[in-house]
Amino acid sequence: MTDLPFAEAIPRFARHLDRERNASPHTVRAYTRDLEQFERWARDELQRPVACAEVDHLLVRSFLAHLHHHGLKKSSAARKLATLRTFFRYLAREGIVERNPARALLSPRLEKRLPAQLEEGEAAALVEVPGDTAGAVRARAVLELLYATGIRCAELVGLDLPEVDLEGRLIRVLGKGRKERVVPFGQAAAGAVRAWVAVRDTLGPREDALFVTRAGHRLSDRAVRRLVSQRVRAISLERRVSPHTLRHAFATHLLQRGADLRAIQELLGHASLSTTQKYTHVNARHILEIYKKAHPRA
């Protein structure tokens, strides 16, 4: 064990998330914010800087009680506890602490919420961006590829041109934990990406990124989220939609059309089948339709 100050351990953990776990910039920022909040609270509580090794389950429990007292949502408190668990698991593995003080604490009970669902027609309307400007061509390629492959937003913006096989309609994706997988895509996405690559080459890109800005720099995940929001407003879709909604739609629509759950798991890059089942919710109406078509005495 060491007396490493909590504040000094945070940037170490952030580098671990970025370099070893291949976490998205959004995830790294969220973990860092949660840990910095805990460090500030613990410093105020103890009236001095806190070392990693002196954080025990009582201090973590007091932090959660503080959050509850100030009206923080259960989902946010559960996320902060999960952050602390992951952080101390890393520290224990590095020999900085002896045990994980957050491990035994129970997360607040949460209502299970399903992601926003898109019907097939809504997904088609969302991705079929009209226009032939550079921005419109790029937007269509981005959205078509998200829906065609189910890849995460961070995986999309991390794609380099050599990782895209337009003839074979395959992409090589570096996912969480730097696990590599190959994902196919259809003709619509291939056409959109091919059109974008032709435009991309005229921008004088400064790096190998598949999706670049007008200045030739890699497109950010924030820009993709903004693009999705703009399309939602353009087609007057009355629900919250994010790039992850297209990932959910990809999995759900494959399942509804008879795809095997294990195959979907591989395409999504999930380590656990239970995670895939959460994404691939099939509504009761669809189940009833399958029953009526499939059962001999329905």
Give the CATH number, domain containing residue 265: 1.10.443.10
User: Do 72 and 166 belong together in one domain?
Assistant: no
Indicate whether 89 and 148 sit together in one domain.
no
Are 167 and 126 members of one domain? yes
Is 132 a domain residue?
Answer: yes
Instruction: Clarify whether residues 16 and 139 are in a common domain.
Output: no
> What is the domain range of residue 141?
120-291
Rounded Cα distance, 90 and 95, in Å: 9
44 shares its domain with 141: no
27 plus 171 within the same structural domain: no
pTM strictly above 0.75: no
Q: Which of 176, 181, 225, 278 is catalytic?
A: 176
Q: Residue length, the chain?
A: 298
The pLDDT value given to residue 2:
66
Annotated active-site residue 286? The verdict is: no
Residues 132 and 246 in one domain: yes
Confidence grade of residue 20 (pLDDT, cut at 50, 70, 90): confident
Q: Quick check: helix, strand or coil at residue 232?
A: helix
Residue 296 predicted with pLDDT over 80: no
176 flagged as catalytic: yes
* Overall number of domains in the chain: 2
- Confidence at residue 26, expressed as pLDDT on a 0 to 100 scale: 85
Pair (84, 19) in one structural domain: yes
Residues 149 and 253 sit within 8 Å (Cβ to Cβ):
no
Q: Tell me which of 99, 172, 244, 281 is the catalytic residue.
A: 244
User: Known catalytic residue: 16?
Assistant: no
Identified catalytic residue from 152, 218, 248, 253: 152
Does the annotation mark 66 as catalytic?
Answer: no
pLDDT in tens, 190-218: 999 999 999 998 888 788 999 999 988 99
The mean pLDDT of 30-44, rounded to a whole number, is 96
Average pLDDT over residues 113-128: 83
Co-location of 47 and 183 in the same domain: no
CA of residue 170 relative to chain centroid, distance: 21
Distance CA 167, CA 189 (A): 12
What is the residue whose two structure tokens read 């890393």? 90
103 within a domain of the structure (yes/no): no
Q: Is 270 a catalytic residue?
A: yes
Q: How many CB atoms lie within 10 A of CB 58?
A: 9
189 in a structural domain: yes
pLDDT reported for residue 204:
81
Selecting among 16, 218, 231, 247, the annotated active-site residue is 247
Output the domain CATH number for residue 48: 1.10.150
Mean pLDDT, rounded, for 119-143: 94
Residue 298 lies in a domain: no
Q: Is residue 63 part of a domain?
A: yes
Is the same domain home to 29 and 164?
no
Residue 216's CB is within 10 A of a number of other CB atoms, namely: 13
Residue 239 annotated as catalytic:
no
Mean pLDDT of the chain: 87
